[in-house]
Every structure is written in structure tokens, then in C-alpha cells.
Amino acid sequence: MPPDPKMSDDRVDQWLAFARRFLRALAARKRQRFDRRVSIGDLLTERDDNAAAYGFGEGTTMYDNVLVLGSVKVGRDTWIGPGCILDGSGGDLEIGDWCSISAGVQIYTHHTVNRSISLGREPIDCAPTRIGDGVYIGPNSVVQMGVTIGNQAIIGTNSFVNRDIPAGAKAFGCPARIRKAARLK
């Protein structure tokens, strides 16, 4: 129901005070239970419910402010941090089991570079992107469309991944380069 335009400023202020007291109580509870301060969306939702609403695997959690576009499939027991972009609008984006997708990570299945520089004559480029099982992607990293990251690979913080990374590799940088082969267990 839309607010009554005739509602007095005093009444609006009363409702606002109530809402602020409610949010403070939720914030105190979150801090007491988990020792964290989160946005309003994360006060009102639970991370496992957010992931389940998209059909992501059992045990997977996702912050409320994660942007999910198009066809995104995520396995079980994967953690998706705050401020991530999971773009499946240009093809399937698949993320495996037991992954850590750190805060601010962006994973794409499309880009508009050629469309932009051709002044609209070229189409949007699209390709599926795949992240294997047990992959760690460090904070603020970007994974370009069409990339496959193999099982148990590590992507370092602030990396730009524009080529495939094999299973067990450690890669970082801009662009990301393989620095060391990890030992698979």
C-alpha cells in the first residue's frame, strides 16, 4: 500500500523512528551472533536462503547484495561474498562445489567491447564461463567471459583472468598468469 500523501510529518517521523529501532535491534543481534556489521539487506535475509532462492547447491551461501544475472548454476558448499557479480546473461555460468568467491569478485559471460567500438554494428560477445570444484578466487578479481578455471585452482586478489587456468594452478596479476602449480589433494 503506498504511503498516504496526507500523512503528517510527525507520523512519518514516528514510523521512521520505529524502523530505525527495529534495524538497530537486528544489527545488535547480528553482531552478537556473528560479530559482524552488514547492510540492511543482510539484516533482513539469511545467506543460505538467498542462495537457495536461486537453486544453488545445498550448503551454499550468498550475501544479499550479490548481483545474479541470467543462467547461473552453483554447486554445494560454496561461499559467495558480498558485492559479487555473477553474470550468466551471455551464456551459462557454472561454479562448482566448495568454492570461495571472495568479496567484490566479478564473473562474466559477455562483454560489449566490440559493440561499443563499432558503434553498434558488431554484436555483444558471449561465451559460457566455468569455475571448477574447490576454486578460491581472491577479492576484487575479474573473470572474463569464456574462461574455464580448473579444480582447486587459486586466483590471487585483484586479478584479471582472461585465459583458462588449469586445475591446481596458482595464478595472479593483471592479466593473471600462472605462478605456481598447486599440489592437488
Q: Which residues does the annotation mark as catalytic?
A: 110
Phi, psi of 29 (to 5 degrees): -65, -45
Q: Which of 143, 135, 139 is nearest to 160 (CA)?
A: 143
In single-letter form, the type of residue at position 177 comes to R
Q: Buried b vs exposed e over 145-159: b needs ≥16 C-beta within 10 Å?
A: bbbbbbbbbbbbeeb
Q: Are 138 and 151 in contact (CB under 8 A)?
A: no
Give whole-number Cα distances, 104 to 86, 182, 185, in Å. Answer: 10, 24, 28
Contact yes or no for 53/64 (Cβ under 8 A): no
Of the candidates 110, 117, 145, the one whose C-alpha atom is nearest the C-alpha of residue 131 is 145
Nearest in space to 59 (alpha carbons), one of 43, 41, 35, 75: 75
